[in-house]
Amino acid sequence: MRRMWVLILVWGFLASLGVGEDDSRGSLVRVRASIQAYDQFRPWQKKSPFGLNGTGVVLPGGKVLATAALVANRTEVGLEKPGSAEKCAAEVEAIDYEANLALLQPTDRNFLKGFSGVVLGPALRAGDKTEVWQLERNGEMLRSQAEILSAGVGRYPSDEAGFLVYGVRVSLPKRDDSYTLPLMKDGQLAGMMMGYDRDSQEGTAIPVPMIEHFLKDAADGKYEGFPTLGVSWSPLRDPNLREEVLAPKSGGGLLLTRVNPRGTAGRAGLREGDVLLSVDGYKLDEDGNYRDPLYGPTAVGNLIRTKPTVGSPARFRISRNGKEMDLNGSYDRKARDEVAIPTLQFDTAPKYLVVGGLVFQELTGTYLQEWGEKWSERAPQRLVELFTFQHEKRPNPERKVVFLSQVLPSPITLGYLQLSGLVLEKLNGREIMNLSDLAKAVDEVKAGDLVFEFRDEPGKLILQAQDLPSVSQKIGKDYGLPALRRL
């Protein structure tokens, strides 16, 4: 995972370099998260717990903004006042792992009484001077000068495409509670630091436009997330390619190399091979940039993801076979959400089903990542293939990938022990759509053969239905499984 979180460890007390000033009081709160993720390889249990400590920003109204990474897979989140050890539990009111933002609400509504809160400042540009705030042990504020190096579309830790991100140069001393830190400008919030590399002294921050979008979406209590277009595209600078796809001679536009018919673009009528000339009135150049009033040339990703919200109208101008036309639709997230294999799942217990020692799971990106940094080489190749190319092959999103993840030795799994990573297709001739479906199908057979049919070799595995009740129970006991299924 290419994360470089602000992970500043407890390095003892250093002399504080800056002194708190009045305008900083009542703006920050310590966030203590207790994290315990599910063990994807042993889906019935969780991994070792650990704690993450960050600094949250108190918003006017008493809610707290933090990064999603700080509270991913939490068991408990607590807030602590900077100058005292006064603590309060907090609920996560809205969270967006793609945008890496979370909104926390103290369970005691009066806990942050007296905190004035921080208002959102303006969007910044490259070259702007800013500050990163950290809390000293005694609650004083440590302010480090920072400079915005860049403002453009870049990768977020749990996102497939990209969002607006600031590159920040800052020299941060090691302090507690630095997993998340605010980026401030004139006492207003300018962004949330989400990554920092101590060697180069450069970091990344989530800019205010992202935070605004997130808070606006969360305000109605129904969080929808950032829209997606559902396309792959290629730059159109190559004159030979332009000629081939009959792109306008006047220049501009990008080539759509894949369009998901379920997505925003697909439902608006865009097709593979179209040249996308403008979005919502913004012209696109040959490299896929539009001219942002604030940032100048900026990748189209910002235009289609940060600016609009789910449900807002989308306007496209395209050239198809040399003919220009306008197409209209509305922004949504279907291309991202309606998929057979969900990408990353946080906070969600993995589903599983143990049948007489055969362990079945539903495939997720999170399961694959459990194989480590080189998951695409180490995980079973069929699973990697199905996941990686699902945007291309677009399997029925209703049909989840149920696979045999491992075999627990039992008297009835003799000869099956080495098997793993096998995608299940049918049980007794019936197509299996998801894990609940499999559980139901298994439960219905009281006696006789259970014929599991897999996509790959060895093709078929057989169990006897009448053996299951006693064997499954014994397996649960022998291996200490709290339950034989979670569906």
Partner 1 sequence: MGNVVLRAGALLLLPLLGSCGKGDWQLSEARKNVVMIEVTAQTWDYRLPWNPGTVSSARGAGFVIDGNRILTNAHVVSGARYITVQREADPRKYPAKVLHVAHDCDLALVQVQDSEFLKGTSVLPIGEIPELESVVSVYGFPIGGDRLSVTRGVVSRIDYNSYTHSGRESHLAIQIDAAINPGNSGGPVMQADKVVGVAFQGFRGDVAQNVGYMIPTPVIRRFLKDVEDGHYDHYVDIAIRWMPLENPAMRQYYHRPNDGLGVVVTDIFSEGSADGVLQKGDVLLSIDGHSIESDGSVRLDGQPVQLEEIVERKFAGDTVDLDVWRNQALEKRKITLRPAEMFSMYENLYEEPPRYVLYGGLVFQPLTANLMAVLVGSADLRLRQTYTLFGQDQIYRETPEPVILSSVLPDRSNVYLVGLAGQVVREINGRRIRTLADVLPALESGGDRTVIRFEGDQRPAVLKKSEVDQVMPRIMTQYGISEAHRTDLGGRRLAKGSWKKEGEGK
Interacting residues toward partner 1 by CB under 8 A:
232, 234, 237-238, 240-241, 243-244, 255, 257-258, 376-377, 381-382, 384-385, 388-389, 392, 412-416, 449, 451, 456-464, 467
Minimum distance from CB of 467 to partner 1 (Å)?
A: 7
Structure-block tokens of residue 391: 């945007």
Structure-block tokens of residue 298: 């900026």
Residues in contact with 110: Cβ distance below 8 Å, sequence separation at least 6, in sequence order? none
Minimum distance from CB of 244 to partner 1 (Å)?
A: 4
What one-character DSSP code corresponds to residue 114? T
Minimum distance from CB of 369 to partner 1 (Å)?
A: 14
Where do the DSSP E strands lie in 83-187? 87-96, 101-106, 129-135, 141-154, 163-170, 181-185
Helices (H) and strands (E) in the chain, counts: 12, 28
Helix (H, G, I), strand (E, B) or coil at 201: coil
Residue 348 or 473 with smaller CB distance to partner 1: 473
Distance CA 72, CA 33 (A): 9
Distance CA 275, CA 272 (A): 9
Residue with tokens 């297709």: 425
What one-character DSSP code corresponds to residue 411? G
Residue 398 or 457 with smaller CB distance to partner 1: 457
Residue 381 or 473 with smaller CB distance to partner 1: 381
Residue with tokens 């194989």: 371
Minimum distance from CB of 254 to partner 1 (Å)?
A: 10
Minimum distance from CB of 241 to partner 1 (Å)?
A: 5
Residue 31 or 276 with smaller CB distance to partner 1: 276
Distance CA 156, CA 162 (A): 6
Residue 66 or 275 with smaller CB distance to partner 1: 275
206 and 70 Cβ atoms separated by less than 8 Å: no
Residue 42 or 258 with smaller CB distance to partner 1: 258
What does each C-alpha distance from 94 to 63, 90, 145, 192 come to in angstroms? 11, 12, 31, 16
Helix (H, G, I), strand (E, B) or coil at 471: helix
Residue 144 or 232 with smaller CB distance to partner 1: 232
Minimum distance from CB of 268 to partner 1 (Å)?
A: 19
Minimum distance from CB of 266 to partner 1 (Å)?
A: 14
